[in-house]
A and B are shown apart, each in its own frame.
Chain A
């Protein structure tokens, strides 16, 4: 049976994003720039990011290497540009995974209530009690190091954050008259949830996902720093910081500072975007 959305509630979140403020707009611009850099990496990078040239180890900035070279003689700028791909795709994978799992768990808990809600809530609390990075390290020990393992591990670790907020807003949404009306009309629960409830709680989920993106980026960078994440010769910004550690001691900070600055920029941008969305969602709710 086809379901029909209620236009009033279904589209109400769209105007909110338009007024998210200049901070959020700046964040969107920065993030768009980073995404563009990642997409255009093959054309923007001046060198092969994986080309090892030990003779050029730890060279300072030059025309050929604007940010110098790392200890293996690789061009830091090129690695930074190519690294943007994995550095952005990794957190995206974490957030998408955590959102899918979290929204499912949250909506099911809110919809079914009773023992299902209690069981799912306890499960969420259990995962909450486990530090995300530790969970990731445990999972990496089982699955082996690599981007896939760390993304999967962090997606699981971030699921409670998404599930908790989803359950909270879904509970109040579940009791709204339009949901009752749809139920009385005989629509299937999954259809109502998919077509009406979830779109209406989407702004909250989006705000949380945006914040999680920044945190996931830091955690993934940390795991890459420890060697659990992306495997050489591919590199992300976290791995680049790890590779640049020894250069710091030699007074050649660029190979570590450049990826560090990129991470800070991206994380701040995502945080501002998340905060902006959250502010507007709260204002609209009032």
Chain B
């Protein structure tokens, strides 16, 4: 039975708390950002901004004997890791920054912005109604204020005087056009799920837009910090037609940088927009060049030689060299991402929850973190990681501390296997060699299973097929466990737990529990943060007890900055925050 609903804050208009996150179960294409496996060492950096969040995240993981440290410094063979939301503030302007990205964006059209590379570049070019601040809270971007006069109405008032990169003024019509484009089924927006409960988007004033929902959907407002909330010039999209968002057509947004050039297969160059509307985030660098460098070794060598100034999501194997190379600093930030072994087939050898629990209890999570991440991560206990607790953190922390199912206990695991009986067929774990961490994690799961009397077969599959699992049912055939990084786009655990609801597109194993569904529905209708968090924590307990996803670890967000640069955030906001604007010369 769902907990009693408390009074909903949304029932009275509350302009003073415009950024309260609410909940709802829209679906969207999941981002599958494979976070860096950070390796680590001790660095005596202690910034004033070294965050409480980092400490809280780590504190949230305390209590597990196999977890890292209980403070803001994680352990790595006796060395400490500082987890920080921001890098030291920049002190001056820069002419040019060269940034490494592994892949070239497929399109700059915001409705197709769902890759790590596209997101981190576009975040500096196209602004949305809201953005994620370095502390991962929602903050206003193009919207000056947000009101929620009724549970099904969101009113966004735009800042006056905002201009697109071509100098034309941003109007409410552009906002309506940009948001409505996600509703066009023919356009095929990757973010259409965010609009699943939207019935209309209307201009209700010269600089005011009202979104009406079919039913309360608390996540909708949070989605406005993602590409679902980006605003583009309607005239540009209409004029460019099919060329819009391509290297030939470009874009015309209102971010701190404009798209200056796109050299196909080579690089994308952003130029500072001196007319940018937000003085706080006006770019310090005149030009930022994103070079497409596919080979991680080339990226590392570029950073060590000084030809590449920085990059996100660093290969874990390179962190020691980058941190000791003398060219710059590696930063670790909090993240909303987690790494899980997802049960794909609930009718196969993992059909008995005792077998799943036994396997979970046998896995050496700290060993994986030490070997793969070199200590730069925390054991994970639930699909929603501490970085995704955007509100009611005490509630989530208590719920997290109560979760022991991922605690390592080989004797208990063996007992469970004896009780359940080892399945006759092997448990097939899918891995791919294109992601360096997967074979090692697969090997550990295989070894862990062997220790408790289970048999695991590793199935190595090509990268395209591996990623195809999300959308192609056939690609899931023959896979019992699938290893992947998955997290939330913004700090709200509700987003990740919606994938466990009956019939959800990403509910691969067909998990269905009426009590869970009821809790989620109730949470989606509950605006009061504490109550919602309690509802979600109860739902989380069901998911964790059933182990539909076996949580493994939550890695830190990694960032390298050449010693001449500083200022950008280190937390996992690079997809929804104009981070390059903060980059400037070091003191």
Contact = CB atoms under 8 A, between A and B. Distances in A.
A243 B367 contact: no
Contacts of B434: 227
Interface residues of A, number: 32
Contact of B460 (A51, A54, A57, A227): A227
A232 B372 CA distance: 17
B420 interface: no
B446 A233 contact: yes
Contact of B433 (A54, A55, A140, A242): A242
B440 interface: yes
A51 B442 contact: no
Contact of B300 (A141, A225, A249): A249
Interface string A34-66: 000000000000000011101101100000000
Interface stretch (B160-168, B171-179, B313-321): B313-321
B462 interface: yes
Interface in A216-266: 225-228, 231-233, 242-243, 245-251
- Chain A interface, >50% SS class: loop
A88 interface: no
Contact of B371 (A57, A227, A242): A57
A71 B436 CA distance: 10
A135 interface: no
Contact of A232 (B315, B321, B368, B431): B431
Interface string B438-454: 01101110110000000
B367 A232 contact: no
Given A54-B444, A72-B371, A141 B462 contact: yes
B443 A232 contact: yes
Given A231-B460, A249-B317, A250-B317, A52 B433 contact: no
Contacts of B346: none
Contact of A52 (B436, B447, B461): B447
A57 to B, nearest CB: 4
A71 B433 contact: no
A225 B317 CA distance: 18
Nearest to B438: A227
B442 A249 contact: no
B432 interface: yes
Question: Which of B296, B436, B443, B462 gathers most chain A CB within 10 Å?
Answer: B443
B370 interface: yes
Contacts of A58: 371
Contacts of B320: 250-251
Interface size range of chain B in the complex: 35 or more
A249 B296 contact: yes
Given A52-B446, A55-B367, A57-B370, A247 B462 contact: no
Question: Which of B316, B317, B458 gathers most chain A CB within 10 Å?
Answer: B317
A145 interface: yes
Given A54-B370, A71-B440, A232-B439, A246 B317 contact: yes
A93 interface: no
Nearest to A250: B317
B443 A52 contact: yes
A141 B461 CA distance: 9
B286 interface: no
Contacts of B461: 145, 227
A40 to B, nearest CB: 25
A227 to B, nearest CB: 4
A232 B318 contact: no
Contacts of A55: 367, 370
Contacts of B431: 227, 232
B457 interface: yes
Given A54-B367, A55-B367, A57-B371, A233 B443 contact: yes
A247 B432 CA distance: 17
Contacts of A73: 371
B364 interface: yes
B460 A243 contact: no
Contacts of A140: 462
B38 to A, nearest CB: 13
A55 to B, nearest CB: 6
Contacts of B540: none
B531 interface: no
B189 interface: no
The 5 closest A-B pairs by CB, nearest first: A54-B367, A249-B317, A227-B433, A57-B371, A52-B447
Given A145-B461, A251-B320, 19 more contacts: A50-B447, A51-B447, A52-B444, A55-B367, A57-B371, A71-B440, A72-B440, A73-B371, A74-B443, A141-B465, A225-B433, A227-B462, A232-B442, A233-B443, A233-B446, A233-B458, A247-B317, A248-B317, A249-B300
Interface of B: 39, 296-297, 300, 315-318, 320-321, 364, 367-368, 370-372, 431-434, 436, 439-440, 442-444, 446-447, 457-462, 465, 478
26 contacts: A52-B447, A54-B364, A54-B370, A54-B371, A55-B367, A57-B370, A58-B371, A72-B371, A72-B440, A72-B443, A144-B478, A145-B462, A225-B433, A226-B462, A227-B434, A231-B457, A232-B431, A232-B442, A232-B458, A243-B439, A248-B317, A249-B296, A249-B318, A249-B321, A250-B39, A251-B321
Interface of A: 50-52, 54-55, 57-58, 71-74, 137, 140-141, 144-145, 225-228, 231-233, 242-243, 245-251
